[in-house]
Amino acid sequence: MGFHAFSSPYDWGRIAEFKTIASAVPGGMADLSVGSPVDPVPASVAGALAAASDAPNAHGYPVTVGTKDLQDAIAEWFRHLRGVDLKAVGARVVPTVGSKEGVALMASLLHLGPGDVVVQPRVSYPTYEIGTQLAGATVLKVDDVADVDSWANEPGVKAVWVNSPCNPSGEVLSAAQMAGIVGAARRIGAVVLSDECYALMDWRGMEGTPAVDSNEPAAANAFSLTATPCALSDQVCGGDASGVLVLYSLSKQSNMAGYRTALVAGDAALVAEMIDYRKQIGQIIPGPVQAAMAAGLRDVVSVHEQWERYRRRLATLVDALRAYGYDAHMPQGALYVWVRALSGDCWKDMADLAELGIVPSPGEFYSAPEYLRFAATATDAVVDLAAERLRNRA
């Protein structure tokens, strides 16, 4: 069958001209566009990678599902940080070579194609749509996936994408909202695909952040690793992983984007079939990286430190963007400040900001051309530089 054609406005080459203009500003460019981590990987991760560099899992072919140690680390992570007992809910796990390939291949691995419909949020990560197009299936964008009446009665719906916390908006869905999605999907025989790669980056309870139901109380300076609901938690899936798949990545929590460490967990039958396919096409995490992934999952102290870095950067950006005139607020979750363009057009604001030496992402990449996304995945120095320029032009 092969891959089908795709089309998308998601092309970073489209902002090259703005980067050229911004780079010419004295002091250089403050690049807040691509959400690529810049901070060091935890020492525990680097150490585990080095120690495993000549282990049997390095000079021999690695196992598709990962070592027993990696499988144990994943189970521990879900149990301790997400409140989920994978065995109890009947879930299996397979590591993926980064989360993007898991997202892009998902519709194909589920055997979706012409005549099948995949639901996704209208404002969302572009690869959901691209992956559906690659499979030859039809994309159905809705304003709010939690409004199940907007999609549950549409013919042909076979899968539903959920992204909480959301890239780019930062919105976090409550356990009740997610349970409603899972219930509606099960009634029509659709699979829920819950992208939770920002799960541990939760800012609810921070000053200026709208209150949302969570799994535990949050103080003004609280750090919680379990507040954003997981689709495999009992409150959402009812103790049964059937028809639910969760995707997670260590790129954000542990700065391991270059390691390509992620996973899919959920419905045992669906994951078992994905394991067979991945084994045949060689979509396997390298052996030493499996050891590094296990270390990253267990190093909660380093995740807390990274959480603090992102919290400070987001707060700095929100304050400076407000001073400049944007209606900016601390996101509920994830790593981005999502604001409506002052001009009403993301490209006009991109041009104006480039003159200040600042480059965000255009909202058109995420199906919202009237918005901009500012990423906190830049160094403290770059974030401070952008903030200073915004305040000076206020």
Residue pLDDT, tens place only, 161-192: 999 999 999 999 999 999 999 999 999 999 99
Verdict on whether the full-model pTM lies above 0.75:
yes
**Domain for residue 65, yes or no?**
yes
Q: 293-323 pLDDT, tens per residue?
A: 999 999 999 999 999 999 999 999 999 999 9
Same domain for 25 and 59? no
Residue among 140, 127, 139, 210 at smallest CA distance from 174 = 210
**pLDDT given for residue 58 in this prediction:** 86
**Owner of token pair 């099960």:** 186
Q: How many domains does the chain have?
A: 2
Same domain for 235 and 112? yes
Same domain for 263 and 329? no
Same domain for 87 and 171? yes
Does residue 224 register a pLDDT over 90?
Answer: no
Q: 67-113 pLDDT, tens per residue?
A: 999 999 999 999 999 999 999 999 999 999 999 999 999 999 999 99
Out of 247, 269, 299, a domain closes at 299
**Domain for residue 176, yes or no?**
yes
Query: In this structure, are strands 261-267 and 244-249 parallel, antiparallel, or unpaired?
Result: antiparallel
CB 299 within 8 A of CB 45: yes
Same domain for 67 and 131? yes
Residue-number span of the structural domain to which 376 is assigned = 12-40+302-392
**Domain for residue 342, yes or no?**
yes
CB 82 within 8 A of CB 226: yes
CB 130 within 8 A of CB 124: no
**Domain for residue 47, yes or no?**
no
**pLDDT given for residue 220 in this prediction:** 40
Same domain for 115 and 252? yes
Same domain for 360 and 294? no
Out of 238, 273, 299, a domain closes at 299
